[in-house]
A and B are shown apart, each in its own frame.
Chain A
Amino acid sequence: MLRLGNPRRRISIGLIGMTFVLSILAGRLVQLQGLDSKVYEARAAQQRVQPEVLPARRGSITDVNGHELAVTVEAREVSADPALISAEKRAQVAATLAKELGRPQEQIAAKLAMTGTRYQLIAKDVDPVVAERVLDHEFPGVTSKPQYRRLYPGDDLAGSLIGFVGFDGDGLAGLERKYDKVLAGRDGKQSIEIGRDGKRIPMTRDTRQAPVPGREVRLTIDRDIQWAAQRAIAQEVAKTGARSGSAIVMDVRTGHILAMANAPELNLNAWQEAAPEDRINRAAAEVFEPGSTNKVITAAAALEAGAVTPGTVFRVKDNIRCADQVLRDAHPHEPENLTFSGIVATSSNVGTIMAAQKVGDEKLYNMLKAFGFGSKPGSGLETEEAGLLPSWSQWSGSQSCTVAYGQGVSVTALQMASVYQTIANGGVRVAPQIVAGVADEETKKIVPSPPGKRTRVISATTAKQIAGMLEAAVGAEGTGNLAAIEGYRVAGKTGTAMRYDEKCQGYCGYTATFVGFTPADAPRLVALAVIQDPQKGHYGGQIAAPVFRDVMTFALKSRKIPPTGTTPPPVRIRAGE
């Protein structure tokens, strides 16, 4: 046997050395994979796991019959990673995408040719069915991402009432904003594992928390009545060259708002293009001095206080001195003997002031307050305003007279509609309601909103007496005869108020109003029409009453409310000399 510099010893040293080195490697592995593996695992996850939000589908806003007023549809965004599409296949991919998506082929080909980029948007708002068909071709690098889009099938139907959502799908205005939490639902979460190239790692474990879709919000609005109200007010605003107008239809017994229309109205599918003031729901948010429609409150105060009866006769001149001012009726006339009913029916300012003076400021103020002036109606609309009702102790000398006929005090159309609902409902105010119910998260069935708060404001007798006066106001001798509807007994009141205008720092122009209810003897519906700053004609009886008539006629038919078939009792307007 040959000996090689004592090789055996050198080899056994080698074996020991090797074992030592390998045990260092093994020791290091124990450290990495045994002791510190959690640290490395966390580090690995951190660079790999990408949390992704799964957007919840927003709930619909529907009308009282479930017709969709605002709806969320799914659309897809188709995009491509040009780096993953080979040059030979590019033309074929572009041709197929162009055909499926209906876009110019050259444009798509140009995008696919940008191989230096990893993302090219090919098409947005793609129908999911089409997107699926595109994906079925299984082109590498072509992907689609779901996105939601809010659509408003009625365009401007109840536009400013419903409101709109922003780019990120959050409610920005109107009911979209007010009910954002309910409508939005809860977004889900998903963490997907992303490789170094930014693409999803195949076969990785996903954690997924499904989104909870938003809930349907059902309104008390009736799509058809809303449409009729909107058309009528828009036509009248256009005809009279007015600045704006609103119309409201309410259910007397429930306080449900069946229509709340504004003109001009906001087209929700293009809300960005609308002027900021046209995005406001004027019917609930615009404050104005109501004028003669306010006389019913003065009448209520006087009747409740026992200061007058409907038959109480007043000797009414066409002007009256009140503190430092002389206040006049709308038209000059010889002094005449009017019953209190006659004063309301013919809308005499002077007569109303005389009645108010019998009641006193404090009682008048309390009555205004009881009818909801100076406080928000509680309809559930975020933008509803409370109006302006200064305390009686701060009224100026003339203000205590003007408040009686609706100047020097401000309200919204919704507040005024609520006043007439109260009278129509036998003196019981039911808080106006706009949301009929919200869908249950599980069953999707609509859970009705609790009924509006009921408050007795005046006695049933007073309410009935005022209803009689209002019916006379629509009669042949009243100011509101254009509001008459054939076959129905209509009660209502005109209003022609001087309009305060910030631009001219005083009263410029008019506010024309008509508000009333039908049938007068068994009221079911309240309707109001208000026209701001009309240029052609300005009397409420002349321009607002026809809107009321059209809208109310439509609503009565739509709700299948029959005439009562009764005859109105005769109302004495004038007393003999």
Chain B
Amino acid sequence: MTAILAAPLRAARRRMDWPLLSAVTALSLIGLLLVWSATRPRLLAAGEDPQTYVKRQLANVLVGLAVLTAVALADHGTLRAWTPPAYVASCLGLAAVLTPLGKTVNGSRSWIGVGPLDVQPSELAKVALVLGLATLLGDRPGGERAPRGAQVALALAATAAPLGLIMLQPDLGTAVIMVVTAFGMLVVAGVRWRWLALLVAAGAAAAASAWFLGLLRPHQVQRLLTFADPMADPQGAGYNAVQALVTVGSGGLGGHGLFRGDQTGGRFVPEQHTDFVFTVAGEELGFAGAALVLLLLWWVLWRALGIASRAVTPYGTLAAAGIVCWFAAQTFVNVGMTIGLAPVVGVPLPFVSYGGSSVVACMAAAGVLISVHRQTARRL
């Protein structure tokens, strides 16, 4: 039995993208430490187990790695086969969030309770969207260089469905990530520049009308205004931005040491284990640690781009490129909002932030990358 399995496993091991997997694992481990440090003071003060969150995140990471392995070992056929159900399921999930099943946290109705777990369908929807668009745009029966108009229209419609549901939560951050991801995939798919320009114009018009017609919620408007001038109200709307900035800045080059950040210990930064986890790295590990996190993320993106460019099928290229856009946008927005380069919109830092849905979604995406990589390696 073992002998029969040994050969394909060996082959699978050879075709793994070990550098990518190492980077993902390293980011997860750093994330565990940062989550630990960010949650420990509150748990200690409340007299609870200071490792409650780090244990849960460890479980998230382990589940995520299992998902990663499963997806990585699947071939394109299997992935494609699972794409429509995954897409439909995530849209249903996003719809369910809006029903009484949904839970509201920090003003966004983004969660549904599944047994003891809180699932955030918008995170999983990102994977589904990437695979869905890759399927739609990668279909080139005649070996065309670019997708046909119908395909593009279908792709836009497929994007609009989850996007609309997410805007209803409302979750501006995830919506932005999805728009960037979809647009990036259209670019890579070879859609004509003219069409792309038209899309950008339409998007800008939509954004402008949303702004001027007052379609944005007051707190969203406030956040965007705060980004322009965070010091205008440092105790109110600008609090998160200012505290994040102060916390990262006070870390200096070498940081205060893990568990020894006083800003973190004093819990000045809200949501520090989730969306603002980068501030823990900034304060406790300093520039060295923060730069290491960025470098590892860049490493993941670079590997992913390599996978995208080497992929032998349009599906593979588009899936990998979509994931690159997703990770890159999310990294920029997340890190950017902690250091005053982006408005505060709640998105997690890939692989690092606390949260089961986010970790599993990112791991699944990494699995997709490895799956594409393996497909390429098999052909060569």
Interface residues of A (CB under 8 A from B): 1-8, 10-12, 14-15, 18-19, 21-22, 24-26, 28-30, 32-34, 36-37, 39-41, 43-45, 47-48, 84, 140, 193-197, 199, 201-204
Contact = CB atoms under 8 A, between A and B. Distances in A.
B44 A41 contact: no
A33 B317 contact: no
A26 B267 contact: no
B253 A33 contact: yes
Contact of A18 (B191, B246, B301, B339): B301
Contacts of B318: 4
A48 B341 contact: no
A41 B249 contact: yes
Interface string B116-153: 00000000000000000000000010010110000000
Chain B interface size, as a band, is 35 or more
Given A5-B190, A19-B298, A40-B249, A29 B282 contact: yes
A25 B190 contact: no
Contacts of B340: 28
Interface in B212-249: 245-249
A158 B265 CA distance: 53
Given A18-B301, A30-B287, A202-B44, A48 B262 contact: yes
Contact of A6 (B190, B248, B268): B190
20 contacts: A1-B312, A3-B145, A4-B189, A8-B309, A18-B324, A22-B298, A24-B341, A26-B291, A28-B341, A29-B291, A30-B287, A40-B245, A40-B249, A44-B246, A44-B247, A44-B268, A45-B250, A193-B265, A195-B267, A201-B41
Given A33-B282, A48-B266, A48-B268, 11 more contacts: A5-B145, A7-B317, A11-B308, A14-B321, A26-B291, A29-B339, A36-B249, A40-B249, A41-B250, A84-B46, A202-B41
Main secondary structure of the interface of B (DSSP, over half): helix
Given A4-B188, A196-B267, A202-B41, A18 B328 contact: yes
Contacts of B41: 195, 201-202
Contacts of B190: 4-7, 10
Contacts of B286: 33
A25 B332 contact: yes
Contacts of B339: 25, 28-29, 32
B31 interface: no
Nearest to B191: A5
B347 to A, nearest CB: 15
A485 B302 CA distance: 111
B252 A11 contact: no
B260 interface: yes
Contacts of B297: 22
A193 B262 contact: yes
Given A5-B190, A48-B266, A33 B246 contact: no
A37 B252 CA distance: 5
B378 to A, nearest CB: 15
A193 B266 contact: yes
Contacts of B162: none
A86 to B, nearest CB: 9
Contact of B294 (A12, A26, A202): A26
Contacts of A195: 41, 265-268
B69 interface: no
Contact of B248 (A10, A32, A194): A32
Contacts of B321: 7, 11, 14
B241 to A, nearest CB: 13
Contacts, number: 164
A7 B188 contact: yes
B361 interface: no
Contacts of A196: 266-268
Nearest to B249: A40
B113 interface: no
B166 interface: no
A8 B314 CA distance: 12
Interface string B249-271: 11111000001101101111000
Nearest to A2: B314
A193 B250 CA distance: 15
Interface string B285-328: 01100110010011001100100110011100110010010001
Nearest to B187: A10
User: Top 4 A-B pairs ranked by shortest CB distance?
Assistant: A5-B190, A40-B249, A195-B266, A44-B250
A24 B263 CA distance: 25
B262 A44 contact: yes
A14 B301 CA distance: 10
Contacts of B35: none
Nearest to B286: A33
Nearest to A37: B252
| Residue of B188, B263, B268, B313 with most partner-chain A CB within 10 A | B263
A202 B143 CA distance: 64
Contacts of A28: 339-341
Given A18-B328, A26-B294, A202 B263 contact: no
A203 to B, nearest CB: 7
B268 to A, nearest CB: 5
Contacts of B305: 11, 14-15, 18
A332 B282 CA distance: 103
B47 A140 contact: yes
B246 A43 contact: yes
A41 B252 CA distance: 8
B301 A40 contact: no
A204 B246 contact: no
Nearest to B259: A203
Interface string B336-374: 100111000000000000000000000000000000000
B351 to A, nearest CB: 16
Contacts of B290: 29, 33
Contacts of A25: 294, 332, 335-336, 339, 341
Interface in B166-191: 184, 187-191
B45 interface: yes
Contacts of A10: 187-188, 190
Contacts of B308: 7, 11
A24 to B, nearest CB: 7
Given A22-B298, A37-B253, A48-B268, A29 B248 contact: yes
Contact of A40 (B188, B250, B332): B250
B201 to A, nearest CB: 20
A92 to B, nearest CB: 14
A33 B247 CA distance: 10
Nearest to A17: B328
A568 to B, nearest CB: 83
A37 B250 contact: yes
Given A11-B305, A33-B286, A2 B313 contact: yes
Contacts of B245: 32, 40
B318 to A, nearest CB: 8
Contact of B263 (A7, A48, A84, A197): A48
A195 B190 CA distance: 53
A22 B294 contact: yes
A472 B331 CA distance: 109
A33 B298 contact: no
A33 B252 contact: yes
A18 B326 CA distance: 12
A19 B305 CA distance: 12
Contacts of A6: 145, 190
A25 B295 CA distance: 11
Contacts of A19: 298
Contacts of B248: 29, 32-33, 40
Contacts of A22: 294, 297-298, 331
Contacts of B260: 203
A22 B331 CA distance: 9
